[in-house]
Structure 1
Amino acid sequence: MMDGSMTGGPSASLPADPFRTLDLRRISRVPAPFVEPDVPSGVGDLLARYASGQTTPQAEMARFASSIAAPAACEAVLSVLDVSDAAQASARRWQNGTARPLEGVPFGVKAIIDVAGAEITCGSALTGHQIAAADADGVARLRAAGAIPVAILATTEYAAGSPFNPRHGVVTNPHDAARWTGGSSTGSGAAVARRMMPFALGTDTGGSVRVPSCWCGVTGLKPTRALLSTEGMAPLSWTLDHLGPLGLSAADLSRVMAVMANLDPVAMRPLRIGVPDGWFTEIVDTAVLTAWTDALSVMQDLGAALVPMSTVDLFGDMATNHEAGWTILTAELSASQRHNAVRRGEQDAGLQARIARGDTLTAADYLLAMSHRTTLIERLMARWDVDLIVTPGLGGEAGHLDGLVIDIDEQTHGFDIISRNTMIWDLTGFPALMLPAGTGRSGLPLGVQIIGRPYDDALCLAMGTAFQGATDHHRITP
């Protein structure tokens, strides 16, 4: 649910700080994508292939089963589920004309989200072999629409640990095995990027859907807080936890959210897009800034008006906001992990560090942070005068597993900077969509983030779909 660094998060010493047709030749910064011709490119493509008889649910389940034999691919998958009966039932529905909206579409589930009959480890040795009695609400909604859960996917421990999970090991980045996927939805990001499945469920408390989406080159949505139920998810921070999907495109996520949240697509119109300064563009690699400004140019060419924004005027002091998010997260993590205190030494070092930080907080610290959160949300709702805000994604390309550092221009930074542009949206609960926006100097994916007002998830997805209709960044494969 968060960035999964080895640090305990920031400390009190943290310093302040469709539209028109587009000529892609002017802004394209990515090589021509390579997509295997026999692999569906997403949910929509797979449904079209089912409808035309080009493939069957059984064939897609067999393709998934064979995919985990590929080198490193198995890192993302903790267990494979028995789907033979569901695949046969879906095939019959396609044959008799009763296919549901996501009929026969395989998906993966992060190992802190319940799937009936599956072992849900939460990435922890302390959970033993616990079996989920029922589906989490989100899984149940997807099943009812015909989607088929095929695998339980890796996570950092309780969605709050380091890259080096003590029970299951590390999930390396599909684009470079020396780099990390980002966390904590490590398996979800890697499995979708490898085209093992067209979408997966993850969770996001400080950035954990959007971080692996950015670093693995896929599209991920942290929905409006409480738009998707967290029932059946292991808690990290009940105030900040979000359930969200990762997929190959914003259009695919729109299909998924239509099922999970009854989210209707919106008609596009010329939009006012806020372009923030300050915090969101600091400690950011030049290549990331270039990808961001290129993306803004695409959106402008698609009909949007770019509106410069003062981050200080809208948000106040971002360092204080960021710190409030981490105070709430670690305080609630400390409480949610109290039952494991006697076995703390068996837990991941990164998780231990974050719990320890939460243990030092007072009730007053927590309550002041919660009060600050309420005031900040009220401030944003009163001052937000654009349709969407677009920020750079993460500060740099995927972090190095050796040393746990991120390259930003000529300097390296620790993993504690990962959540700089993501935590604020968990704190406020506003919807945030991360989507590929190019590649960096090492050829690894970069991202941009589209943010809307509460319950403007469909508008974020519509802008993402329009952007991806004009670019090929989301089609790059490892």
Structure 2
Amino acid sequence: MNVLQPLPHTDVLEPTSFIDPGQADARLSARPSTPVEGEQRVAMPIAAGTLDDISAADVGNLLSAYAEGTLDTVAVLDALTSSIATTRAGGEAVLRFVPGAAEAAKESAARWASGTHRPLEGIPFGVKDIIDVAGTEVTSGSHFTGHRIAPADAHVVARLRAAGAIPFAMTATSEFACGGPHNPRYGAVTNPWDVKRWTGGSSTGSGAALAARLMPLALGTDTGGSIRVPSCWCGTTGLKPTREKVSREGVAALSWTLDHIGPMARSAQDIACVLPFMTATPDRQLAKDCAALFGDFDISGLRIGVPTGWFTDNADQAVLTNWKSALEMLENLGCLLVDLPPIDVRPYHEAGWVVLQSELAALHADRADRADLMDPGMLGRLRKGMAFGAKDYARALQERVTAQETFLSAMENVDLMITPGIGGEAGSLETLTVDVNGTSMSFQDLISRNTMIFDFTGFPALMLPTGLGRAALPTGMQIVGRPHAEALCLRVGAAFQAVTAHHCLVPPGAASD
């Protein structure tokens, strides 16, 4: 049985109408409800916004401020583009602006004024530079692509546009979402928390731009951890959905059996707000479940699986301390913590890398003789992939089903599992190492250790911050569900963020450096 078969979708309508905001629960006064496809949407009021609030405003704040008329879409876009153009973080994280964004903002302002606004009307979002945006240069962070102009929107971009969101900035990526920190075409994206550290990759620009408060929402991709690593190291929130939940159409492939597309934002609630408008096909149940978490933070009775071994062995003590504190907080909220049986993750992790590098080689082997143009990290992975044989690749693919069955069995008596995030705080750009309890570990050995397995199995995984570590840099935890359990992951994330402020921490000098 294929555990990742898409759920059926029938008789689904897009949201078309709104009702007045006065019905908000007081606990949620700073958030709008997520619109349910085919049903009405409740807009939650927030305090009146000013232009000074724009960098701090997230998706929910903006929608409520637009509804109240305290902010308009043109002013928001102008403020964000100005911050990008005048800050170090903006110069590194954003490669170029999307043509037509200003006109789209004017259209959104008119729609708000006329009462014809769509569910995500006027929300600006960044797009990783491997995802097509019509009429925009999309380069995959490589010299090989020249100045390619995308002929049409990727499916996910088209879906968000149809809901009223505005793609306005192309964000940096490592080369073909596979290279190292020092991109040969555009340079490194430094971490807004410490410019000597990396943001994590490969969704480098999306993670940095969110942390620096240059945009409220961005798209990333994840093949070995590329949404979750920068989310962890930048102190933001990112979701890798179930594989194929979001269409890969119009997205440059790295590994066609591992690639995922997902949202990166500042909170689980913001992700819940946009996810129903990103899926490959409209999903009524997902929309209802995401909307429900805005009215109810109760997670009492949920059984949370707590792993050991692979996920905790190579982790800094500060990472583990913050993870354990987060688990205790969830326990205080009524969750039951359950120790998971040991899982031998190593063979699945290694199989995932065989698949990734083999498929990378299938796509890019003809470029291997132009090493002078290629990122060294990508070149190394490409050469490893070229050395694998058909038997290696086939055996690695066979391991996927075993891995899925193993994790489903381990999670049989729990609702979710929660692992530490990345094993150390953001790594050094100079040494390409991460400090773990005083020992320097290479990026390759650590970064994907807790993330690759869920690309390989295709299970949904949400990364969110748990506080600061010994170097005063963000740490994170990863909430993992069974296939298609995105809303449950988000529900627990939102409940945790409702009683903590880790996701509200801002890097020193964000949006003003």
TM-score, scaled relative to structure 1: 0.90
8 Å Cα contact 1:77/1:152 also seen in 2: yes
Of the three residues 333, 336, 339, the one matched with 2:360 is: 333
Matched, 1:387 2:415: yes
Within-5 A mapping of 1:24-423: 37-68=53-84, 69-82=86-99, 83-261=101-279, 262=283, 263-266=286-289, 268-269=298-299, 270-312=301-343, 317-385=344-412, 386-416=414-444, 417-423=446-452
SS at match of 1:367: helix
Structure 1 segments of 4 or more deviating over 4 A? none
Q: Which amino acid aligns with 2:256?
A: W
Q: Which amino acid aligns with 1:46?
A: L
8 Å Cα contact 2:424/2:435 also seen in 1: yes
SS at match of 1:273: strand
Greater shift in the superposed pair: 321-330 or 69-78:
69-78
TM-score, scaled relative to structure 2: 0.84
The runs of 5 or more residues in structure 2 that have no matched partner are 1-26, 28-51, 293-297, 508-513
Q: Distance in 2 between matches of 1:169 and 1:106?
A: 25
Q: Distance in 1 between matches of 2:305 and 2:408?
A: 14
Structure with greater contact order relative to length (CA < 8 Å, sep ≥ 6): 1
8 Å Cα contact 2:89/2:212 also seen in 1: no
* 1:23-67 CA distance string (max 9 Å, x none): xxxxxxxxxxxxx74534310001111111111110011011111
Q: Cα gap change, 1:383/1:446 in structure 2, threshold over 3 Å: closer, same or farther?
A: closer
Matched, 1:452 2:493: no
SS at match of 2:370: helix
Q: Distance in 2 between matches of 1:249 and 1:38?
A: 16
Q: Distance in 2 between matches of 1:356 and 1:378?
A: 31
Greater shift in the superposed pair: 337-346 or 419-428:
337-346
* 1:438-474 CA distance string (max 9 Å, x none): 0011111100000000000010011100000010000
Matched, 1:461 2:490: yes
Q: Distance in 2 between matches of 1:222 and 1:179?
A: 23
Q: Distance in 1 between matches of 2:466 and 2:408?
A: 28
Q: Which amino acid aligns with 1:303?
A: G
Q: Distance in 1 between matches of 2:159 and 2:416?
A: 28
Q: Distance in 2 between matches of 1:345 and 1:323?
A: 28
Q: Cα gap change, 1:380/1:38 in structure 2, threshold over 3 Å: closer, same or farther?
A: closer
The aligned counterpart of 1:4 is: none
SS at match of 2:55: coil
* 1:397-435 CA distance string (max 9 Å, x none): 000111111011121111011110000000000000000
Q: Percent identity?
A: 55
Q: Distance in 2 between matches of 1:395 and 1:382?
A: 25
8 Å Cα contact 2:54/2:79 also seen in 1: no
SS at match of 1:140: helix
SS at match of 1:72: helix
The aligned counterpart of 1:7 is: none
Q: Distance in 1 between matches of 2:495 and 2:380?
A: 42
Once the two structures are TM-superposed, the CA of residue 258 in structure 1 deviates from its matched residue by 1.6
RMSD: 1.4
